[in-house]
Structures are given as structure tokens and as C-alpha cells.
């Protein structure tokens, strides 16, 4: 019975409290240690599918993971996945990912599952606390359908939403920010910063890519960082494919993480 135990800064309603991207990286790293240890670059799909229990900020709840049935949104449209909580089934969150087939590749299924797991980690505890509250003093006492809490991943573009700056965060809706947070967890879980840097350093010479070290562009991670620039388009394409194969994701996923971790600098030129 695989169990994930994680903690992060939260309010009294068990909702994340100003969790920065560097903290999400750390939370994802702790999750990886519990799932596969430090010796693997790629996380097997089954390692995520077989999670049955979460203990987040002291909230214990079951996690039901379904990957066998096609998933639809409230309008009946096919979607990649959902994460939801029904107060009628207390202390249980559900993650559903559509089966691999014409509409969803194995690689996208893995990304979707990791994204929905991010919602289970960061959003489900708050849903459970909210759902456990009884009716208020002025609420109607007659039986009513209880609200279900749900997030939806409609397509691959949804998985490519990028982190935002503090200024943008102030304007972001709670739902939008939750999606960005789940994406950051997904990216850090499947392709961690240290693992990707090590793979880049190992494989770059095979693709005639010169590596450099310079001041980090991320204020949350001071010091020096590894990066490359002035890469030929063909070399970069094959390089990203090689890295993608190593981590079990698609090349676009790797491209986003290379940029996210500053391994490709803004001034980089592709020949």
C-alpha cells in the first residue's frame, strides 16, 4: 500500500500558503524519494498509479487512482484526467486518467497522472476540510446535493502552463494558480533539476553541445548554474529526444524543463 507523506506551509483550512516554486521542487523531491529513491531518472507509470494513501499536513486520506476508463468533463467532452473529491465519500480523493490510446499517448498519460497527483497533494486536503464542515446557522436544513470538488486536465496545452512571477500571481485566480502549482509539481517530480543537470552534463558531448557555468538566473537558487547556448537546431532536437527517452517523457516536456531550470538561457541562439 504505497503511501506518500508530505508537508508544506498552509493555512488553518489546510490550503497552501504562499508556496514558492522552489518549495514545490523540494516537495516533489521528497515524493520521489518515497516512490523510487534516488537511483532512477524515469518514474514508472505504475509507481504513481499504485499510490493508495496520502498524508498531507496531517490530513490522512485514501487516494483512488483509475486509468482504465475514458474520462469526460461536465459537458461530456473527452479529457485527459481529473482530480476530484466528493464530500459524500469522506477522506477519499480520486484521480482519473483516460486510458492510453488514440487520444492519449503513454507519455502524456504519465504527465497527466503526475499533474493530477499534484492536485491531490496541494488541493485535496483543503477540499476535505471544507467538505467536512456541516451546514451553517442560516443554511437550508433540507437534504441537498453536496458540492463536489474537481480539477480537469482537458489537453496537452494544459500541461504546458508556465510558472508566473509574483506580480502576476497577485492577479491570478485561485483556480489558475492551482493549475500552475500542479504543473510545477509534475515537472519537478518527473524531471528534477539535479537529475536533468546531471543528464545534460553527461550527454551534451555526444551532441557537440558546449556547456558553460555562470551566475544563476533564479534568485531562489543563488550561486552558479550549468547552461548551454548557440546550439544547432538539429543537435538540439536530437539532444532533447535523448533526454526525453531517459526521463520517460516527450521532448516538449524536456524543452520546458530545460528553460525552467535555466539550462537554456534567454540569450541562447539556435543556428
The mean pLDDT of the chain is 86
Domain ranges of the chain: 3-190, 193-260
Residue-wise pLDDT tens digits, 63-99 = 999 999 999 988 899 999 999 999 889 899 999 999 9
CB-neighbour burial class of residue 57 (10 A; exposed 0-12, middle 13-18, buried 19+):
middle
pTM summary value: 0.87
CB 2 within 8 A of CB 14: no
Q: What is the pLDDT of residue 148?
A: 65
List the Cα angle 227/228/233 in 5-degree steps.
145
- The mean pLDDT value for 12-32 works out to 93
User: How far is the C-alpha of 55 from the C-alpha of 44, rounded, in Å?
Assistant: 22
Task: Encode pLDDT of 89-146 as tens digits.
Answer: 989 999 999 999 988 999 999 999 999 999 999 999 999 998 877 554 444 444 444 4
Supply the pLDDT for residue 137: 43
Tell me which of 77-81, 156-160, 193-197, 254-258 is least confident. 156-160
DSSP per position, 44-99: PHHHHHT--EEEETTEEEEEEEE-SS-EE-TTS-EESEEEEE-TTSTTEEEEEEPP
CA distance 49 to 2: 10
Amino acid at each position: 500500500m504505497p503511501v506518500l507523506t508530505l508537508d508544506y506551509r498552509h493555512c488553518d483550512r489546510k490550503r497552501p500558503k504562499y508556496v514558492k516554486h522552489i518549495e514545490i521542487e523540494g516537495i516533489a523531491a521528497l515524493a520521489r524519494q518515497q516512490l523510487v529513491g534516488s537511483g532512477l531518472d524515469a518514474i514508472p507509470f505504475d509507481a504513481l498509479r499504485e499510490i493508495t494513501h496520502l498524508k498531507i499536513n496531517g490530513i490522512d486520506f485514501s487516494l483512488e487512482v483509475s486509468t482504465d476508463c475514458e474520462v469526460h468533463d461536465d459537458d461530456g467532452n473527452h479529457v485527459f484526467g481529473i482530480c476530484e473529491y466528493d464530500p459524500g465519500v469522506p477522506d477519499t480523493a480520486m484521480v482519473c486518467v483516460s486510458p492510453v490510446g488514440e487520444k492519449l499517448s503513454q507519455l502524456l498519460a504519465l504527465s497527466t497522472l503526475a499533474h493530477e497527483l499534484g492536485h491531490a497533494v496541494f488541493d485535496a486536503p483543503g477540499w476535505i476540510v471544507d467538505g467536512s464542515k456541516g451546514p451553517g446557522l442560516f443554511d437550508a436544513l433540507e437534504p441537498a446535493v453536496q458540492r463536489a470538488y474537481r480539477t480537469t486536465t482537458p489537453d496537452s496545452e494544459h500541461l504546458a502552463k508556465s510558472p508566473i512571477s509574483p506580480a502576476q500571481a497577485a492577479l491570478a485566480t485561485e483556480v489558475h494558480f492551482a493549475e500552475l502549482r500542479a504543473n510545477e509539481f509534475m515537472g519537478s517530480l518527473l524531471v528534477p533539476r539535479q537529475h536533468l543537470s546531471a543528464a545534460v552534463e553527461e550527454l551534451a558531448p555526444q551532441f557537440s553541445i558546449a556547456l558553460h557555468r555562470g551566475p544563476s538566473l533564479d534568485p531562489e537558487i543563488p550561486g552558479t548554474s550549468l547552461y548551454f547556448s548557440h546550439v544547432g537546431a538539429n543537435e538540439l532536437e536530437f539532444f532533447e529526444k535523448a533526454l526525453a527517452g531517459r526521463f520517460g517523457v516527450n521532448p516538449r516536456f524536456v524543452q520546458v524543463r530545460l528553460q525552467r531550470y535555466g539550462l537554456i538561457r534567454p540569450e541562447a541562439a539556435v543556428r
